[in-house]
């Protein structure tokens, strides 16, 4: 098998640049979906149900896109056609979703419209996101993969920060952050418009700059004839033969991703209750809280970047994993205790520590455990289920748990914190190779 040549920094950059735009779209969704549906009139006990769609689409779409693109060869490439189509659909939906309350529809109709739009947005974002991961795998040699994924991680975090702060920024420059009851404010609508424009421009840049390997060249660099037997592997067989670490890390993942699902779902309501002392979804104060949540999520992203620098300093990987999750759990537990909006930076910096570990540590343990097993790509695709399934379960139980904690959205931060602490305890069952 031929060795793939080294790529220049800018070629590595171009491979992932479009991810910046995709992540802006994802950040806007993460920070504003609960706000949008709450503004439309959704009951807080039902908010978590709207969050079933993102992980459900992820667990369905990403393996399908991966499988189909493996078999796709056309004049535009192998992965790029799926990237471009996904981005184009995402742009269209981003222009429609925040306007769900602006078309004069009844509340129930507006929420159904918003739900359908969200489904298409989730599908298209996942369709656009997956090819970037595969482009690196296809194009970059083993020596440069760490650098390639580091660039992708930087662009991911940068896109997140931009998407999170957009509503606050537009309010700051004078765009209205209030609207009639049941209508999403212009600050949010414009954020989605500008996010959509950046997304398509970034993707166009990537599609123009990146040239995928033709089939013959790809086969030479990837030794496809040698890997034919692996391609016939049955998913159920792979799961049955998976190393125990695969399942133990999956257990940790369950509690971690459930906790973060509750953060994305209830933070807007929690900050509105704690810092602005309001539960009125139609109030100006609630919309101000919604803007501030974007700032806090950006702080979390910064905290994640800073903690990612600290993590390699730990000699014990399990200890690093546990400490990070405990810090994240403490951060969640502190959110309902701080009434000052600026003091909330402290909890969200701590939450960023947990997030950094969740993005890096699980794959370290799993890939090490899979050495000698083969089917690495298939196993990592299946491992994506440990991210999606806990979010689906948490979303289904969200309304019930909210009722149990007194229907106060701020109290769900305690639930999220407890979930991460339990995840930290589960790290002890993982065995390092």
pLDDT at 227: 47
Cα 190 versus chain centre, distance: 22
pLDDT at 177: 92
The top-scoring range by mean pLDDT among 90-99, 152-161, 263-272 is 263-272
**Residue matched to tokens 């421009």:** 201
Residue 146 has pLDDT above 70, yes or no: no
The length of the chain, given as a count of residues: 433
Residue 67 has pLDDT above 90, yes or no: no
pLDDT at 345: 98
Non-local (6+) Cβ contacts of 144 within 8 A are 6, 7, 12
Q: How much of the chain exceeds pLDDT 70, in percent? A: 91
pLDDT at 1: 56
Residue 54 has pLDDT above 60, yes or no: yes
Cα(210)–Cα(11) distance, rounded to whole angstroms?
8
Residue 401 has pLDDT above 90, yes or no: yes
pLDDT digits (tens, 9 = 90+) for 284-327: 999 999 999 999 999 999 998 889 888 878 888 899 999 999 99
Domain boundary assignment for the chain: 9-221, 234-433
Pick the CATH number of 9-221 from 3.40.50.2300, 1.20.1250.20, 2.60.40.1180, 1.10.10.1200: 1.20.1250.20
Q: Which of 210, 156, 130 is nearest to 25 (CA)?
A: 156
Residue 149 has pLDDT above 50, yes or no: yes
pLDDT at 118: 86
Q: How confident is the model at residue 138 (pLDDT cuts 50, 70, 90)?
A: confident
> What does pLDDT average to over the chain?
86
Q: How confident is the model at residue 415 (pLDDT cuts 50, 70, 90)?
A: very high
Cα(383)–Cα(363) distance, rounded to whole angstroms?
9
The two three-digit tokens of residue 240, written as one number: 């049955």
Residue range 234-433 in CATH 2.40.50.140: no
Report pTM: 0.80
Q: How confident is the model at residue 376 (pLDDT cuts 50, 70, 90)?
A: low
User: Residue 44's beta-bridge partner residues?
Assistant: none
pLDDT at 312: 79
User: Residue 333's beta-bridge partner residues?
Assistant: none
What is the SS3 assignment for 384? coil
CA distance from start to end of the chain: 29
């Amino acid at each position: 098998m031929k060795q793939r040549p080294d790529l220049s920094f800018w070629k590595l950059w171009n491979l992932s640049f479009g991810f910046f735009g995709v992540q802006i779209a994802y950040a806007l969704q993460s920070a504003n979906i609960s706000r949008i549906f709450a503004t439309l009139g959704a009951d807080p006990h039902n908010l978590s149900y709207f969050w079933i769609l993102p992980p459900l689409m992820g667990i369905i779409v990403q393996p399908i896109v991966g499988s189909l693109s493996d078999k796709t060869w056309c004049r535009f490439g192998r992965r790029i056609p799926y990237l471009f189509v996904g981005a184009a659909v995402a742009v269209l939906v981003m222009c429609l979703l925040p306007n769900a309350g602006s078309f004069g529809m009844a509340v129930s109709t507006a929420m159904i419209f918003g739900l359908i739009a969200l489904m298409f947005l989730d599908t298209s974002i996942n369709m656009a996101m997956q090819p970037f991961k595969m482009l690196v795998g296809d194009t970059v040699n083993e020596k440069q993969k760490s650098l390639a994924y580091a660039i992708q991680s930087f662009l991911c975090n940068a896109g997140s920060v931009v998407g999170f702060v957009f509503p606050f920024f537009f309010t700051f420059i004078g765009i209205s952050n209030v609207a009639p009851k049941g209508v999403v404010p212009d600050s949010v609508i414009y954020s989605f418009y500008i996010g959509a424009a950046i997304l398509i421009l970034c993707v166009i840049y990537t599609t123009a700059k990146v040239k995928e390997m033709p089939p013959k060249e790809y086969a030479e660099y990837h030794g496809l004839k040698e890997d034919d037997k692996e391609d016939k592997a049955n998913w159920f067989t792979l799961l049955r033969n998976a190393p125990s670490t695969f399942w133990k890390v999956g257990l940790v993942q369950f509690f971690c991703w459930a906790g973060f699902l509750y953060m994305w779902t209830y933070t807007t309501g929690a900050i509105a209750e704690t810092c602005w002392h309001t539960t009125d979804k139609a109030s100006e104060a609630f919309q101000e809280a919604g803007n501030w949540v974007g700032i806090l999520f950006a702080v979390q992203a910064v905290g994640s970047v800073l903690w990612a620098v600290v993590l390699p300093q730990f000699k014990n990987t399990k200890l690093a994993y546990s400490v990070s999750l405990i810090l994240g759990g403490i951060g969640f537990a502190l959110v309902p205790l701080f009434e000052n909006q600026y003091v909330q930076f402290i909890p969200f910096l701590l939450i960023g520590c947990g997030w950094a570990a969740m993005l890096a540590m699980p794959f370290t343990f799993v890939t090490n455990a899979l050495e000698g097993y083969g089917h690495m790509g298939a196993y990592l695709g299946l491992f994506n289920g440990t991210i999606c399934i806990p979010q689906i379960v948490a979303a289904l139980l969200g309304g019930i748990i909210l009722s149990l904690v007194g229907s106060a959205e701020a109290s769900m931060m305690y639930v999220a914190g407890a979930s991460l602490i339990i995840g930290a305890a589960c790290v002890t069952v993982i065995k390092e190779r």
